[in-house]
Chain A
Amino acid sequence: MSFLELDGLVKAYGALTVVKGVDLAVDRGTLVCLLGPSGCGKTTTLRLIAGFANASGGEVRVGGEVVSSASRNVPPEDRNMSMIFQSYALWPHMTVFQNVAYGLKLRRLPATEIKERVGRILESTHLGPLAGRYPSELSGGQQQRVSLARALVVEPQILLLDEPLSNLDANLREEMRFEIRRLHDQFRYTTVYVTHDQSEAMTTADLIVVMNAGRIEQCGTPEDIYERPETEFVARFIGGTNILKGRSDGSDTVVCADGVVLRCGSGRVSPGGETAVSIRHHDIRIGTTPPAGDGSNQASGVVERQIYLGSHRDYLVKLSGGERVRAVAPVNVAIPVGQQVWLHFPPEHCRALTH
Chain B
Amino acid sequence: MTDAVLMPERVRRIDVSVPVFVLLALGLGVLVILPLFWLVWYSVHEDAGGFTLGNFVQLVTDDTMLRAYGIAIAMAAGVGVLSCLLATPLAWLVARTDLPGRRAIRALVTASFVTPPFLGAIAWELLAAPNSGIINVLYRTLFGLPRSDSLFNIYTFPGLVFVIGCFTYPFVFTLVANAFDRVPGDLEDASAILGGRAATTLWRVTLPLVLPSMLAGTLIAVLQALTMFGSPAILALPAGFHVITTKIWSLFQFPPQLGLAAAAAMPLLVITVLLLRGQKAILGRRGYTVLGGKSGAPRIVALGAWRWPAFAFALFVLCLTVIFPYLALLKTALVPNAGDALTPSTITLSHFHFVLFDFSATRLALYNTFVLGFLSATTVAVVAMIVAYIATRKLVRGAGILGMLATAPVAIPGIVLGVGLFLSYANPTFQLYGTIWILLIAFVTIELPAGYQQISSAFHGVHPELEEASRILGASRLKTLWLITSPMLRTSVVAAWCFVFVGTIRELSATILLTTANTKLVSVIIYDLNESGDMGAICVLGLILLVVSFLVVFAVNRMPVLGGGGSVSTTRG
Interface residues of A (CB under 8 A from B): 50, 52, 75-83, 85-95, 102-104, 106-109, 134-137, 143, 147, 150-151, 154-157, 160, 166-167, 187-188
Contacts and interface: CB of A to CB of B under 8 A. Distances in A.
Rank and list the top 8 A-B pairs by shortest CB-CB distance, nearest first: A92-B566, A103-B473, A89-B469, A89-B465, A85-B465, A87-B573, A106-B474, A134-B566
B474 A86 contact: no
A155 B566 contact: no
B472 to A, nearest CB: 5
Contacts of B199: none
Given A86-B465, A89-B465, A92-B566, A167 B473 contact: no
Contact of A93 (B474, B566, B571): B566
A106 B563 contact: no
Contact of A92 (B10, B468, B488): B488
A62 to B, nearest CB: 12
A107 B472 contact: no
B14 to A, nearest CB: 12
Interface stretch (B1-9, B58-66, B111-119, B221-229): B1-9
Nearest to B566: A92
A243 to B, nearest CB: 34
A78 B479 CA distance: 13
B4 A52 contact: no
A137 B472 contact: no
A78 B475 CA distance: 9
B469 A80 contact: no
Contact of A80 (B6, B562, B572): B6
A102 B473 CA distance: 8
Contact of B4 (A75, A91, A150, A156): A156
Given A81-B472, A92-B562, 4 more contacts: A75-B476, A87-B571, A95-B564, A102-B483
A135 B1 contact: no
A91 B1 contact: no
A353 B547 CA distance: 81
B302 interface: no
A89 B463 contact: yes
A289 to B, nearest CB: 54
A90 B570 contact: yes
B476 A86 contact: no
Contact of B566 (A52, A80, A135): A135
Contact of A106 (B473, B565, B573): B473
Contact of A86 (B6, B479, B573): B573
Contacts of A135: 566, 570
B474 A107 contact: yes
Contact of B475 (A83, A88, A106): A106
Given A135-B570, A155-B2, A85 B475 contact: no
Interface string B552-573: 0000000000111111111111
B471 interface: yes
B432 interface: no
A151 B487 CA distance: 21
Contact of B5 (A77, A90, A150, A154): A154
A187 B487 CA distance: 33
A93 B470 CA distance: 13
B466 interface: yes
15 contacts: A52-B468, A81-B472, A82-B472, A89-B466, A89-B468, A91-B469, A92-B562, A92-B566, A93-B563, A103-B473, A107-B8, A136-B570, A151-B473, A155-B5, A166-B573
A85 B488 CA distance: 19
Contacts of B6: 80, 107
B317 interface: no
Nearest to B568: A92
Contact of A85 (B10, B13, B468): B468
Contacts of A83: 468-469, 472
A224 B171 CA distance: 67
| Central interface residue in B5, B473, B479, by most chain A CB within 10 Å | B473
Contact of B565 (A89, A134, A187): A134
Given A107-B5, A108-B8, A75 B565 contact: no
Given A50-B472, A75-B471, A102-B470, A80 B573 contact: no
Contacts of A50: 468, 472
Contacts of B572: 87-88, 167
Contact of A136 (B463, B470, B565): B565
B383 interface: no
A78 B473 contact: no
A94 B566 contact: yes
B74 interface: no
Contacts of B5: 104, 107, 109, 154-155
A92 B2 contact: no
Contacts of B469: 83, 85, 89-91, 147, 150
Interface in B454-472: 463, 465-466, 468-472
Contacts of A93: 487-488, 562-564, 566
A77 B7 contact: yes
Nearest to A140: B572
A31 B97 CA distance: 61
B211 interface: no
B484 interface: yes
Contacts of A134: 564-566
A103 B565 contact: no
A49 to B, nearest CB: 10
Contacts of B477: 75
Contacts of A109: 5
A44 to B, nearest CB: 14
A210 B322 CA distance: 69
B474 A87 contact: no
Contacts of B1: 155, 187-188
Contacts of A91: 466, 469-470, 484, 488, 566
Interface string B467-504: 01111111111010001100110000000000000000
Nearest to A102: B473
Contacts of B475: 77, 106
Contacts of A52: 468, 471-472
A88 B573 CA distance: 9
A75 B466 CA distance: 16
Given A87-B572, A155-B1, A92 B567 contact: yes
Contacts of A106: 7, 473-475, 479
A166 B569 CA distance: 18
A167 to B, nearest CB: 6
B317 to A, nearest CB: 40
A77 B471 contact: yes
Contacts of A166: 573
Contacts of A187: 1
A156 B487 CA distance: 26
A39 to B, nearest CB: 16
A87 B465 contact: yes
A157 B564 CA distance: 34
